Chain A
Amino acid sequence: MKYLKVSIAKLVKIEGLPIILVYFVLMVVFIITATKVFTGYRIYMSFLQTVPPLLILALGLTFVITAGEMDLSFSAIIAFSGFIFCYIFRTFGTPWLAFILALSSGALVGLINGWMVAKVGIPSIMATLAAQFFWNGLTILLSGGLSWNIKEIRPYFIHTLFVGRIGGIVPAQSLWGVGVAVFLWFILNRHTFGEHILFIGDNVDVARVMGVNVTATKIKLFVFMGVISAFAGILLTLEMINFWTTQGAGLLLPTIAAVFIGGTSLAGGYGTVIGSFFGAYIVGSLEAGVVASGIGGYWTRLVTGLVMAASVSLNIILSREKGKGLRERIKESVFIKNL
């Protein structure tokens, strides 16, 4: 029994383990309920094609929530940066200029968000909600409310690089998703920027008195989220070879759900990149899975709600168990010898 407890405690320490389990359980369920679909490779390729924008957004949002903040404007950034990308490409025919300016447009939105939050002191949920309306509105104004097709971009290298099919099968954006995830894991867990985010989310006063420049870090955080959102927007636009004014709207709640399913704490101070990775794939595969299982598309949201409730509960229960065991061990064995 004791060994079992110790090994459970060790396992729980692996980042994102509960959510990885949930993911595989879900996949097994789908393999059982929709055997035909889920034993073929096509459904997985379709996930690898559709999930990456959601995944990349969730990874960025993980940082924001870890810092104890919220960003609701990223869905508007997706539309805005997508529009900038299409506009520059169609006007000048230079995809890389379009790419850079689209990323910059995301950075600009983020900078204004960060300024409102860190300098003016508006709570981030309000500031970014206002930003969502504003930038979405501006996008609609600028685009005339139309969707823009950019099928001329297909032969360009940028299309192959970001959304091509490797070996004719694997969508390139899935590798970009993995790459961004690995990179951001290191930023959150091994870089001073990530550590400052962790401390700001944990206790902003501690962060301040210990020498973290809270204002600058928060502004950087929102700029970072803006750039990440713009990148997701570019991937989406490239994949669809189309821009439309509401292209980010459907991603807002699923992204937030993915982060929470992953186990990142709403209270701030703790965030898991691995959790958000699997959270995004769970959210992204639910719809297809539920539909393929034959119980009907109407069930998708209901099942998403259940999975989210189950994952969040699982995370809380497991971390509570861990705390109990440790606390007792500490009481027995530790004291201060001499100061």
Chain B
Amino acid sequence: MLKKGQFKNAVKMNNIEKYFGHTAALKGVNFGVGANEVVGLIGDNGAGKSTLIKIITGVFPPTKGELYIRDKKVSLRDYNVKQAYKLGIETVYQDKSLGEKQDLWRNFFIGRQITNRFGFIKVREEKEIAQKIMFDIIGFRGAGITAESKANKLSGGERQGIAIGRAMYFDAELIILDEPTSALSLKEVHKVLNFVRKIKDSGRACIYISHILSDVYEISDKFIILDRGKVVATIKKSEVTLKKLSEFMLKYAHAK
């Protein structure tokens, strides 16, 4: 299953700036994620992590700067979520992954439905694939939940499972996990961390965002620390211990 990308960096940002009105969310951000690298993105609330992620996933464009996906420069005007899907970028958001009242099969394919040429959804096909993802990739068992269940019938862990299964099915080159463990039990956190290791083993890239430093430290190759819209440090795992990393982070927390 080992996959070799024909590119050096899954994502690279050059001097990215993002303003909301007059407020700067990101100021001159430079960073890269290698083709087979797990990057831990850390920073306090309001540091700009979510903004950064949303630029990579095409939710909104940056105000200024250059964005490279798979070493190719992206035209910022045309870049959007659908483009990001095509370039193999999948995201698991903390709490924005699933439409609560919608069937699970809809949740798997929202934004990239399988349709005929008039835009009508091929429901049977979508349901079959969704069912397959749930059983084969995620490993749902038991009678209670099918592809036709509503998302609000699932526990937090199961929801994250669905979102992760979706990312796996669409065969991403870069998987972004935004606080994936915040609503999970210990056992479920363990599963998510294992999933990140699988991403690494299969030759893909991952950006992992979490407040829980020990988790981030355990699975990342590299740490990028954001503070108030700036990258303040890029540290390789070999250069730092968990203790030092925590102390370093605390310094920034106190600096506020």
Residues on A facing B (Cβ under 8 Å): 186, 190-193, 195-196, 198-199, 202-203, 205-213, 265, 269-270, 323, 326-327, 329-330, 332-339
Contacts of A192 in B (CB 8 A): 113, 115, 119-121
Q: Which residue of chain B has its CB nearest to the CB of A194?
A: B121
Q: Would you call B102 and A198 a contact (CB within 8 A)? A: yes
B105-142 near A? 1/0 per residue, CB < 8 Å = 01000111101000111010000000000000011111
19 A-B pairs with CB atoms under 8 Å apart are A186-B120, A199-B99, A199-B102, A199-B110, A202-B99, A202-B100, A203-B96, A203-B99, A206-B99, A208-B59, A211-B80, A265-B101, A326-B144, A330-B145, A333-B142, A335-B142, A339-B138, A339-B164, A339-B195
Contacts of A191 in B (CB 8 A): 119-121
Q: Would you call B111 and A212 a contact (CB within 8 A)? A: yes
B36 within 8 A of A: no
Known contacts A211-B110, A326-B153, A336-B157: does B99 contact A198 (CB below 8 Å)? yes
Q: Would you call B102 and A269 a contact (CB within 8 A)? A: yes
Q: Which residue of chain A has its CB nearest to the CB of B166?
A: A210
Contacts of B194 in A (CB 8 A): 338-339
Least CB distance, A144 to chain B, in whole angstroms? 43
- Give bound CA distance, A327 to B164, whole Å: 22
Determine which of A212, A323, A337 lies in contact with B110 in the assembled complex, contact meaning CB atoms within 8 Å.
Answer: A212
Known contacts A192-B113, A195-B110, A207-B110: does B188 contact A336 (CB below 8 Å)? yes
- Give bound CA distance, A331 to B57, whole Å: 34
- Give bound CA distance, A327 to B145, whole Å: 10
B91 within 8 A of A: yes
Q: Which of B91, B99, B106, B143 has its CB near the most chain A CB atoms (within 10 A)?
A: B99
Q: Which of A186, A205, A337 has its CB near the most chain B CB atoms (within 10 A)?
A: A337
Contacts of B81 in A (CB 8 A): 208-211
B192 within 8 A of A: yes
Q: Would you call A330 and B102 a contact (CB within 8 A)? A: no
- Give bound CA distance, A202 to B98, whole Å: 9
Identify 12 new A-B residue pairs, CB closer than 8 A, beyond the known A191-B119, A335-B142, A339-B195: A190-B121, A192-B120, A199-B102, A202-B102, A206-B96, A209-B59, A211-B80, A269-B100, A270-B101, A336-B139, A338-B194, A339-B192
Q: Would you call A269 and B101 a contact (CB within 8 A)? A: yes
Q: Which of B98, B111, B123, B192 has its CB near the most chain A CB atoms (within 10 A)?
A: B111
Tell me if A's interface is mostly helix, strand, loop or mixed: helix
Q: Would you call B140 and A334 a contact (CB within 8 A)? A: yes
B51 within 8 A of A: no
Contacts of B113 in A (CB 8 A): 192, 195
Closest 3 CB pairs of A and B: A211-B111, A337-B139, A333-B142
Contacts of B154 in A (CB 8 A): 330
B93 within 8 A of A: yes
Contacts of B115 in A (CB 8 A): 192
Q: Which residue of chain B has its CB nearest to the CB of A208?
A: B59
Contacts of A329 in B (CB 8 A): 143-144
- Give bound CA distance, A154 to B123, whole Å: 44
Q: Would you call A190 and B123 a contact (CB within 8 A)? A: yes
B82 within 8 A of A: yes
B69-110 near A? 1/0 per residue, CB < 8 Å = 000000000001110010000010100111111100010001
Determine which of A203, A323, A334, A339 lies in contact with B142 in the assembled complex, contact meaning CB atoms within 8 Å.
Answer: A334
- Give bound CA distance, A179 to B54, whole Å: 42
Known contacts A202-B100, A209-B59: does B144 contact A336 (CB below 8 Å)? no
Q: Which residue of chain B has its CB nearest to the CB of A328?
A: B144
Contacts of B120 in A (CB 8 A): 186, 190-192
Contacts of B54 in A (CB 8 A): 209
Least CB distance, A37 to chain B, in whole angstroms? 41
B236 within 8 A of A: no
B191 within 8 A of A: yes
Q: Would you call B192 and A336 a contact (CB within 8 A)? A: no
Least CB distance, A295 to chain B, in whole angstroms? 40
B161 within 8 A of A: yes
Q: Would you call B141 and A338 a contact (CB within 8 A)? A: no
B221 within 8 A of A: no
- Give bound CA distance, A195 to B105, whole Å: 11
Contacts of A205 in B (CB 8 A): 96
Contacts of B93 in A (CB 8 A): 206, 209
Contacts of B57 in A (CB 8 A): 209
Q: Would you call B99 and A269 a contact (CB within 8 A)? A: yes
Least CB distance, B136 to chain A, in whole angstroms? 10
B170-209 near A? 1/0 per residue, CB < 8 Å = 0000000000000000001001101100000000000000
- Give bound CA distance, A272 to B191, whole Å: 38
B158 within 8 A of A: yes
Q: Would you call A335 and B141 a contact (CB within 8 A)? A: yes
Q: Which residue of chain B has its CB nearest to the CB of A203?
A: B99
Least CB distance, A206 to chain B, in whole angstroms? 5
Contacts of B140 in A (CB 8 A): 334, 336-337
Q: Which residue of chain B has its CB nearest to the CB of A210?
A: B111
